[in-house]
Structure 1
Amino acid sequence: MRIRPLTSDDIPAAASLLRAAAEEFILHESSPANAAAFLAAQGEEGMRGFLADGYVYHVAEVGGELAGFIAVRQRSHVYSLYVDKRFHRQGIARRLWDAARVAALGPDHPGAFTVNSSNHAVPFYESLGFVRTAPMQASTVCYNPMRLALGAGGAFVDPA
């Protein structure tokens, strides 16, 4: 597996992966209109806009194939993290998170990361140390606001 920055050539494959994953794991909780709005905003054009706005993307390649990607906004918010279902349970999401976290850290980092997790992904984020900060929310999609506090050097801080 190779983790690297996303290039514009990766966007069609990343958008296709996002669509397939969202349809299987997220959008069943949304109305058809909200699901369509989500997919329209997250397609190739949306990804190109996010990239132009400074979102930092990393992709995971397995055998030359795009197996997953992560996008981080303003160095502290995990905006997207998707792994192709064929590659689940192989550590790809964790490796993508590690690469994104390291890339985001620096002397002026705010000391925490946030994510609006799908219901499906909550156990994964909890395994990384994220905790829910509010009950599940429903807008275009259902999501769970979560936060991960960091200590010195970007290490996880147990909130207990």
Structure 2
Amino acid sequence: MPPLELSLRLGQSDDARAIGVLVRRVARRWILPDQPHDAGVAMLERMSAKVVRERIAIGCRFHLAWLGGTLVGVAAMRDDSHLIQLFVGTRYQGRGIARRLWLRAMRDAVRRASTRCFTLNASRCAVPVYRRFGFVATGPERLSPNGVLSTPMQLLLDASTVAGF
């Protein structure tokens, strides 16, 4: 049997449960160990299917990566400029899925809004990944207003890069 091909598509409200299950599982494994307890609990609540549905309804764009019928990755963008989630299932990491999701989300934002500046708040374990994507830290690791430890990061695209999309 040939290996399954990765398929990417825009998430819909019906995908909210699968998105919530994946991102909460990955967050528990990779992000929560570095977070204050209360911040971790609040973070998991913000990753629930209900909140995902609400975010989709207000225009956040969730790009999904599937292998067969299995959701293996999620990239979510707010306001066509702020990456709010980029998660790949632990067993699927190291295969370039995060990069493919990021490029899809970025190109979508550039196409829709001509975005040239992207921002995100990176967990400690994700900072090296985002650096490989071209992001730079805009400040030190800090506690956000919701108590989550993260590093603010930014990516500026030059005009020639934007023109290539």
Sort the Cα spacing of 1:76 and 1:153 in 2 relative to 1 into closer, same or farther, 3 A.
farther
Q: Which residue identity lines up with residue 159 of structure 2 in the other structure?
A: A
Query: Does 2:150 match 1:143?
Result: yes
TM-score, normalised with respect to structure 1 = 0.91
Aligned residues: 155
Per-residue CA shift, 1:86-106, capped at 9, x if unaligned?
Answer: 100001000001110111014
Q: Which residue identity lines up with residue 25 of structure 1 in the other structure?
A: W
State the 1:62 CA deviation. Answer: 0.8
Contact 1:29 1:141 in 2 (8 A): no
Structure 2 residue aligned with 1:152 = 159
Structure 2 residue aligned with 1:122 = 127
TM-score, normalised with respect to structure 2 = 0.88
Partner secondary structure for residue 105 of structure 1:
helix
Identity, in percent, stands at 37
Structure 1 residue aligned with 2:3 = none
Q: Which residue identity lines up with residue 57 of structure 2 in the other structure?
A: A
- Residue correspondence of structure 1 range 15-34 to structure 2 within 5 A: 15-34=20-39
Sort the Cα spacing of 1:5 and 1:106 in 2 relative to 1 into closer, same or farther, 3 A.
closer
Runs of 5+ in structure 1 lacking a partner? 156-160
Runs (4+) off by over 3 Å? none
Per-residue CA shift, 1:27-74, capped at 9, x if unaligned?
Answer: 112222221111112211111111111111110001221001110011
Structure 1 residue aligned with 2:47 = 42
Sort the Cα spacing of 1:36 and 1:108 in 2 relative to 1 into closer, same or farther, 3 A.
closer
Q: Distance in 1 between matches of 2:142 and 2:26?
A: 20
Sort the Cα spacing of 1:32 and 1:2 in 2 relative to 1 into closer, same or farther, 3 A.
same
Per-residue CA shift, 1:106-148, capped at 9, x if unaligned?
Answer: 4853421111011111111000110000000113321110000
Runs of 5+ in structure 2 lacking a partner? 1-5
Sort the Cα spacing of 1:48 and 1:107 in 2 relative to 1 into closer, same or farther, 3 A.
closer
Partner secondary structure for residue 120 of structure 1:
helix
